[in-house]
A and B are shown apart, each in its own frame.
Chain A
Amino acid sequence: MFIRIDLNSEETLYSQLSNQIKYGIAKGYLKPGEDLPSVRGLASELGINLHTVAKAYNRLKEEGIININRSRGVKVSKQVLTNRGTDYETILHGKITKLVSEGICHGIEKDEFMQMVEKIFDGLEGEQK
Chain B
Amino acid sequence: MNTLITGFNLIMILLIGLLYVFTPKLLNRYLLFGVTVNDDILRDESTEGIKKQYRILTLAVCFLSLAVYAGLYLILNKTSASTVFIVVLAAELVIDDLIYFHAHYRIKSVKRRLNIPVSGIKTIDTREVQEFSVINPLLYLVYFLLIGGVVFLSLQKYPDLPEKIATHFNADGIPNGFMHKSWKALLSLPAMMFLFSLLFMGINTALKRAKKVSGTAKGKLSFSQENRFRYLWSIALYLSGILILAILSAAQFTIIQIIPDRTYIVPISLGGSLLMILMILGLTVYTGQSGSRLKQSKKETDIVDRDDDAFWKGGIIYVNRKDPSVFVNKRFGIGFTVNFGHPVAWIIIAVIIGLSVYSII
The number of chain A residues touching the other chain, given as a range, is: 20 to 34
Residue of A nearest to B129 (CB): A37
Contacts of A117 in B (CB 8 A): none
Tell me the residues in window 17-37 of chain B with beta carbons closer than 8 Å to chain A beta carbons: none
Once the chains bind, are A41 and B129 in contact (CB under 8 Å)?
yes
Q: Contact check, B121 vs A44: say whether CB atoms are below 8 A apart.
A: no
How far, in whole Å, are A83 and B130 apart by their CA atoms in the complex? 29
The smallest beta-carbon distance between A116 and chain B, in angstroms, is: 25
**A7 neighbours in B (Cβ, 8 Å):** 120-122, 306
Contact across chains for B211 and A45 when beta carbons are under 8 A apart: yes
Q: Please give, as numbers and ranges, the residues of chain A lying within 8 Å of B301 by CB-CB distance.
A: 2
Which of these, B119, B124, B302, B311, contacts A46 with CB under 8 Å?
A: B124
Given contacts A7-B306, A8-B120, contact A47 B125 (CB under 8 A): no
Please state if B126 and A40 are interface contacts (CB–CB under 8 Å).
no
Q: With contacts defined as CB atoms under 8 Å apart, how many contacts are there between chain A and chain B in the complex?
A: 70
User: Is B320 part of the binding interface, using a Cβ–Cβ cutoff of 8 Å?
Assistant: yes
Q: When each residue 312-332 of chain B gets 1 if its CB lies under 8 Å from chain A and 0 otherwise, what string results?
A: 000000001011110000000
| Inter-subunit contact A47/B323 (CB<8 Å) | yes
Contact B123 A3 (CB under 8 A): yes
Residue pair B323, A1 in contact (C-beta under 8 Å): no
Is the Cβ of A41 less than 8 Å from the Cβ of B125? no
Binary per-residue interface labels of chain B (110-132) against chain A in the complex, 1 for a CB within 8 Å, 0 otherwise: 00000000111111111101100
Contacts known (A37-B129, A37-B130); A45 close to B124, Cβ less than 8 A: yes
Instruction: Check B308–A47 contact: CB distance below 8 A.
Output: yes
Indicate if the CB atoms of B324 and A49 lie closer than 8 Å. yes
Contacts of A43 in B (CB 8 A): 323-324
Residue among A1, A40, A46, A47 with most chain B CB within 10 A = A47
Residues of B with C-beta under 8 A to A6:
120-122
0 or 1 for each of A20-44: is its CB under 8 Å from B? (1 = yes): 0000100000100000111011111
- B124–A48 CB distance below 8 A: no
Q: Contact: B323 with A44, CB < 8 Å?
A: yes
Which residues does chain B contribute within 8 Å of A45, judged by CB atoms? 124, 129, 211
B residues near A30, Cβ cutoff 8 Å: 126
Chain B residues numbered 68-85 whose CB sits less than 8 Å from any CB in chain A:
none
Residue A9 is within 8 A (CB to CB) of chain B in the complex: yes
A4 B122 Cβ-Cβ under 8 A = yes
Q: Is B125 within 8 A of A1, CB to CB?
A: yes
* Interface pairs (9), CB distance under 8 Å: A2-B126, A2-B302, A7-B121, A7-B306, A8-B120, A30-B126, A40-B324, A44-B324, A44-B325
In the A-B complex, the 9 residue pairs with the closest CB atoms = A7-B120, A37-B129, A8-B120, A44-B325, A47-B323, A4-B123, A41-B129, A49-B322, A6-B121
